[in-house]
Amino acid sequence: MTTIGVLGLQGAIREHVRSIEACGKEAVVVKKPEQLEEVDGLILPGGESTTMRRLIDRYNFFEPLQQFGKAGKPIFGTCAGLILLASDIEGQNDAHLGLMDMTVARNAFGRQKESFEAPVEINGVAEDFEAVFIRAPYIQEVKADTEVLGVYDGKIVAAQQGHLLATAFHPELTDDHRLVQHFVEMVDQANGNKLASV
Ligand code: GLN
């Protein structure tokens, strides 16, 4: 059985558990680095990226998370999770996990648009995904082989680089599970590849 973890330090954890379960997979709230060994893929939820980073360091998650990604295990970063994945953050010298080749801008939709919903076309996933943005970042630039999956208002809000997926919005806050389903398929595929190579 495919098991998908949700990093359980801070943010929209329960909502992701609900959407993983709605996609027919087992969800685990990951609160200790050892639990990463039990999961086939991991969601980094939305919340607040600097707080989450502080907790990642405090609970010794930094290296294990980087290794998880470098080992080819799928990771889906939503909102603050996208910021954690990025190789570059505008206006900051240091990024966080730096696993995904892209530059992100934080809180980039401006104060007047702290939180809003908008339909976004996600390539190969959904033509009209109702995306919930909350103090959302956007992707300023994709690099290397990171692919743009969705654009809103001229700004990149969804991208994928192989086994890494990122959205500036919160796909877990609606009953539309197509993006989480897309991630589940990435995890199944990575699992299938692993089994095939044994
Ligand atoms: N603006 C937040 C940050 O920088 C992200 C917001 C969110 O995850 N909804 O971490």
Which parts of the chain have pLDDT scores under 50?
none
Fold classification of 3-197 (topology level): Rossmann fold (3.40.50)
| pLDDT given at position 109 | 87
Burial class (CB in 10 A: 0-12, 13-18, 19+), 23: middle
* Residue 43 labeled ligand binder: no
> How far is ligand 1, taken at its centre, from the CA of residue 143, in Å?
22
Q: Give the per-residue pLDDT at 111.
A: 67
Give strand ranges (E) for the chain.
Answer: 3-7, 26-30, 41-44, 75-78, 86-89, 100-105, 115-122, 126-134, 138-142, 147-152, 155-161, 164-167
* Overall pTM surpassing 0.90 (yes/no): yes
- From 54, 82, 89, 134, mutation site for ligand 1 pocket: most ligand atoms within 8 A of C-beta: 134
Any idea where the domains of the chain sit in the sequence?
Answer: 3-197
pLDDT at residue 196, rounded to an integer: 64
Residue 147: predicted pLDDT: 98
pLDDT at residue 195 in the model: 66
Tell how far the Cα of 51 is from the centroid of ligand 1, in angstroms: 10
Specify the residue with its C-alpha closest to ligand 1, atom 2.
Answer: 48
- Give the ligand 1 atom nearest the CA of 106: 4
**Hey, which residues are catalytic here?**
79, 170, 172
Q: What is the spatial distance between Cα 198 and Cα 127, in angstroms, rounded to a whole number?
A: 37
Confirm or deny that 48 is annotated as ligand binding. yes
Ligand 1 binding pocket mutation candidate from 10, 15, 43, 48 (most atoms within 8 A of CB) = 48
Contacts of 93 (CB under 8 A, 6+ apart): none
Ligand 1 closest atom vs CA 47: 8
| Structure confidence at residue 110 (pLDDT) | 76
Residue 47 annotated in ligand binding = yes
